[in-house]
Every structure is written in structure tokens, then in C-alpha cells.
Amino acid sequence: MQKDQLIKALDKNNQVRVILARTTALVNEAADRHKTSATAAAALGRVITAALIMAADLKGERDMLTIRIDGNGPAGPIIASADAHGTVRALISNPQADLPSEQPGKLAVGELVGKEGFVEVIKDLGLRQPFIGKVELVSGEIAEDLASYYLKSEQTPSLVALGVMVAPDLQVISAGGLLVQAMPGADDELLAQLEENITQMEKLSAALEKTPQLEVLMEQIMKGIEYRLVGQQDLYFKCNCSFERLRNILSSLSEEEMNKMLNEEGQIEVVCNFCNEVYHYRAEDILKHKKASDTEV
């Protein structure tokens, strides 16, 4: 399988920028961890890919970007958080939800996500307050919704394409995304050429499957345009949960609840919502921790 990766390009006059990402392996891992239906895998995969593309603009070591999409559809809210290092973690509230596809070859993502709601983008740049942008959903298809977000919230006209191809056995065959943004005053002819190139291309997920090199696909997107590659990043699914981190959740339980669970099961099980990793806590893990935090006070 091809490595998950993202590349960035700029035309020679810095009027348009293009980000192209392949996310097949990491979307596969997310779908596998969350045991998604085919349509839920596509919805989750698109949000994950969007988060990675948007996070590619983060500068700080510890900056985080989160996309939250809730369209009041059967999928429930979908959340993906990515960082400046190309890692992402994500969840879909109802991973098993599915809908029959109405058009052959097209999963009913928009219907599964719904469009009665909002897309929120939360940028945590280490400042006192995170930056939060929120716009109404257009279609629940994610790409259109992101384009609308860029236009309304960041005043940047953008073309966004997100594609996830899922096999009948639920294997993710191909996934990725494309972002094209025009700088203010960008040349009309240049934009027309880009649009023409992209219209000529086949569906993004199919193009990614057939083209092992992202650079080759970039050449097709930029055909007839002088450009240079300005960035490249490897991408991964990676959660930031840990035994210690999830143990803090237990402090929200009352002593009575905790003892009841420990007596019944001998241990308490906590599952990370973002990666489905299961952690087990025995009485001594909790006691030891409690003593440690008591002495800290």
C-alpha cells in the first residue's frame, strides 16, 4: 500500500496553492478501530482527511485543529483532531449507522451525516482562547461544507474534493483529499486552467488508487501551469490517549460507583472514544493514583 502523505504546491506567482493528500491507510485504520459501516467509513474518512489538510497550515509544535460536524443525521456528530505533525484521531458517534446508496458507486454520505446543523473548526494555537469558526452545513457531503466554511469564515474561495472508496468487504481501497485556494487577485486564466484540469480528472479516490505518486497527480492538476512543490508531510492515525490520561476520567465517578464496579468486575474498563483502545484499572491502580495526587496537594 502507498504511504499516506500530503504535498503542497504553489504556482510561480504565488496566486494559487494546492494541497493534495493520500489517507488510505489511516482511514482504513480508523474505520477498522471504530468498526464502521461502509457509509460511515466514507463519512469519517472524509472528515479525517479534511482535518489533516487544514492542519497542514498549523505552525506551532503543539497546535491542534479539530473539525466537528453534526448534521443531525443517523451518523451523529463526527469529530477529527489533527496536529502540525500530520497525526489525526477521530470518532463517529454511530459507526454502525448505514443507509442504502441511491446512486451506483456513490455512498449516501450526505444523508448519513445530515445537513441540519453546523461544521465547526476549532484551532487551538496555544493562546488563551481557541479560535472557533462555525458555519451552517450545505449538504453533509463534507467537501462542499468545508468549501463553504473557507468562504464564509475565512473569506477564501476554495475548491475542496474529498474521496473515500470502500470495498464490499469494508476495506478502504483509497482515500484522500484535494484543496485548491486562490489568493486575492488571482489571475482568472490561471483559475480557469486549474478548473479545466480538475474537471478532466477522474474521481479523486479513483485517481489516487491508480496513481502511486502524489507528485504525478499534482502534475495533472497543474497541467499548463508553472509551479513548485513547497511542502511534504507523512500522515498517520495516532491517538494521544494513555493509561494515565484516561484514568483521570475515573475521578468523575463517585467512590460508591467506583467500589460497586470494582466489586462486580474486579476492574474498571475505560474505552477511548477516539481510537477504541480499552484500558483496565484495578483497585490498586486507582488507589495508588489517588495517594499520589493526595500528596501533590
**Contact positions toward Zn ion, by CB under 5 A?**
239, 241, 272, 274-275, 277
* Nearer CB in complex with Zn ion: 149/274: 274
Give min distance, CB of 155 to Zn ion, in A.
Answer: 35
CA–CA dist 246, 248 (Å, integer): 5
Give min distance, CB of 71 to Zn ion, in A.
Answer: 24
- 3-state DSSP percent of the chain in helix, strand and coil, to 5: 35, 30, 35
Pick from 224, 232, 179: which is nearest to 12 by CA? 224
* Nearer CB in complex with Zn ion: 10/241: 241
Give min distance, CB of 50 to Zn ion, in A.
Answer: 20
- Residues 6 or more apart whose CB falls under 8 angstroms from that of 64 comprise 55, 58, 81, 82, 83, 123, 124
* Nearer CB in complex with Zn ion: 46/89: 89
The torsion region of residue 158 among left (phi > 0), alpha (psi -120 to 50) and beta comes to: beta
Give min distance, CB of 196 to Zn ion, in A.
Answer: 43
Give min distance, CB of 25 to Zn ion, in A.
Answer: 18
Give min distance, CB of 47 to Zn ion, in A.
Answer: 17
Q: Is the dihedral of CA 208, 210, 215, 219 positive or negative?
A: negative
Q: Which amino acid is at 169?
A: D
Q: Which residue has the cell 464490499?
A: 168
* Nearer CB in complex with Zn ion: 241/253: 241
Give min distance, CB of 86 to Zn ion, in A.
Answer: 17
* Nearer CB in complex with Zn ion: 178/272: 272
Q: Are 225 and 190 in contact (CB under 8 A)?
A: yes
* Nearer CB in complex with Zn ion: 32/277: 277
* Nearer CB in complex with Zn ion: 136/277: 277
DSSP secondary structure string for all residues of 179-223: EEEEPTT--HHHHHHHHHHHHHS--HHHHHHH-S-HHHHHHHHTT
Helices then strands, counting H and E runs in the chain, come out as: 10, 13
The CA angle 172-77-126, to the nearest 5 degrees, is 95
